[in-house]
Every structure is written in structure tokens, then in C-alpha cells.
Amino acid sequence: MTVDQRPRAGNCQQDRLLVFVHIPKTGGTTVVSVLAHQYPAEATHTIMMRGMSWTGPKHALWPNFLISPSKIRRLKSALKDPHAVRALHGHFDLSLRRLLPSNARLVTLLRDPVERAISHYCHYRRLSTDPAHELAARSSLTNWVCRSGLVEMDNGQTRRLAGELKLPIGAVSSRTLDKAKANLAQEFSVVGLTERFEEFQVLLHREFDWTYCRYPARNVGANRLRQSQLDAGALEIIRERNRFDLELYRFACGLFERAVGKLDLARELSLLRRAPAFGEPAHAESPRSGPSIARPAAVQR
């Protein structure tokens, strides 16, 4: 590929629908900004399921629908023209797979379940406008995970990737886990890890043949709890409550290692790190082209 033939950011040439399954509190907001750079707004569709604030009836946050029929109708309408929508993203589960084109290319990010639980809890303690804020403000972390009734805190990643977010608390099983694993292995073109976001970016850019660009982290919580600040009892409770997510995360790590193991990762990371940051002139090479000619970008503080 010559320099003149390089794909340019914001001018995606892929014919197949890209679907980003955004699991909450995994760093997906940054991925959404990547998609906004690569695809025009009119070619992008967002669909959201309730789940982040979906709790048991005693907290009066239980929705009538996991996803409203009107949202389903709008999604079906948007997908009628196979060339109109090129990217789909949102907080939804794999039960929507039946509505998507058979050749859609799925992408997702998983996160260490303990880190995700901490991030989820701290997020709602900060987010004063959300109905779940009051519950988070008066809960300890372990109570938030174990007693709040939030499905996200009960193996939420396994639920989403199995397409079974609606399962009652405590109903996630080894069968659900097996379904989530099979979906990850068979349905997804790129499986990333929050903790290794740069390498995920490499996989993403190579899969879709995008010009390398560095993107600033979005929606990052400040001054939150760290695992090192939790006592052993609290860690054990969170791990037990998310034991299927822990197994799914280990499985995803294996998929990720195999994917990056096929690359000259040192070279690819060098190209990515030397690429312009989002908003700078796009002179970086695509992942499949020769050595980068981009000047080193300024360090982001």
C-alpha cells in the first residue's frame, strides 16, 4: 500500500457493519470516540439497554422493558438500508445479535471484574443526577455489589455477552458462561482488554485497516478506590459474586494473547505511539503500510 492509497481517518471504506458491544465501565467511551472519528455521524447508530441502574423492586428502579420496543423499531428501520448505518454501538447484550446482519463484525472490551466493580461503584457515587446515586452514596462497596440488586454487579459481563442481561440476580450459571465464551470466540472480530488498551487499539486499527491515531482516554474516574485499599474479605466477596465474570475474563485474556501473538507487536505499538493524537494532522501510516513518517506527537499530560 503506497502513501497515496492509505486509508484516511474519518473515511472508513468497510462494507460490513461494525458493532461495538459496550460493556459499562470497561473504557468503552474512548472506543466510541474512535468510532466518531472513523465514521460520519449519519452512518452511526446508538442503542441502549437499561442495566446500569436496573435494580430489584425494593429500590423502585426496575424498568418496564429491558429495551423499549420503540428502540427496537428504530434499529430495525435503520438497518433496512445495508449502506446507511456502518457502525452500531451502545450498552446492549448479545440478544440483539438476531437483528444484525449475519456478516456484522463485532468488537468488545472486557475488564478485570474487581476493577470494574470498583469503577461502577465510584461512578454512581459521583453521578448525582442518576437515580442510583442515592443508593451508591449510602452503600459500602461490598453492599453495592452484593445487596443493591444491580444486575451489572452480578456477573454483568457474562450476562451481556451471553445475551442474558435479564436473568434474575443469582441466576447466572455455568451454562450462561459457556454461552458467553462461545459468543466471544465465534462472533467477535476483536476482543480487547481494558488493562491493555494500546494493544487493543492496534488490533482494532489492523482489523479495520484504519490509519493509526492516538485517542485521549474519555470518562476516566478520578480519585477512586484501588484494589490495594480493599481488605481481603471485601475482595473475596466481590470475586465470589462475579466468579463467572472472572472465568470469562481469563478466557478473553487467552483470545487476546493469541490475537496479539500473531503481530509484530513492538513495531505496531511504535507506529501507534508515533501517530498524531486525535485532532492533529493525520500523517501516520496505516497498520499495513511501511514505517511511520509521522513526527513524534507531544506527550499527553
pLDDT per residue over 64-108, tens digit each?
A: 567 888 999 999 999 999 889 999 999 999 999 999 999 999 999
pLDDT at res. 9:
40
Q: Choose among 20, 93, 19, 112: nearest CA to 54.
A: 93
CA atoms of 196 and 262, how far apart (whole Å):
16
Question: What percentage of the chain reaches a pLDDT higher than 70?
Answer: 81
CA atoms of 92 and 280, how far apart (whole Å):
32
Region 166-194: what's the mean pLDDT? Answer: 96
CA atoms of 88 and 192, how far apart (whole Å):
17
* Three-point CA angle 82, 88, 89, nearest 5°: 170
188 grid coordinates: 467477535
pLDDT per residue over 97-156, tens digit each?
A: 999 999 999 999 999 999 999 999 999 999 898 888 888 999 999 999 988 888 899 999
Residue with cell 467511551: 29
Residue 173, pLDDT above cutoff 70: yes
* Three-point CA angle 218, 222, 227, nearest 5°: 110
pLDDT at res. 153:
92
Q: How confident is the model at residue 295 (pLDDT cuts 50, 70, 90)?
A: very low
Of 39-48, 61-70, 247-256, 267-276, give the lowest mean pLDDT range. Answer: 61-70
CATH topology of domain 3-114+158-222+244-274: Rossmann fold (3.40.50)
Q: How confident is the model at residue 168 (pLDDT cuts 50, 70, 90)?
A: confident
Sign of the torsion angle spanned by Cα atoms 111, 115, 116, 117: positive
CA atoms of 301 and 299, how far apart (whole Å):
6
* Residue-averaged pLDDT of the chain: 84
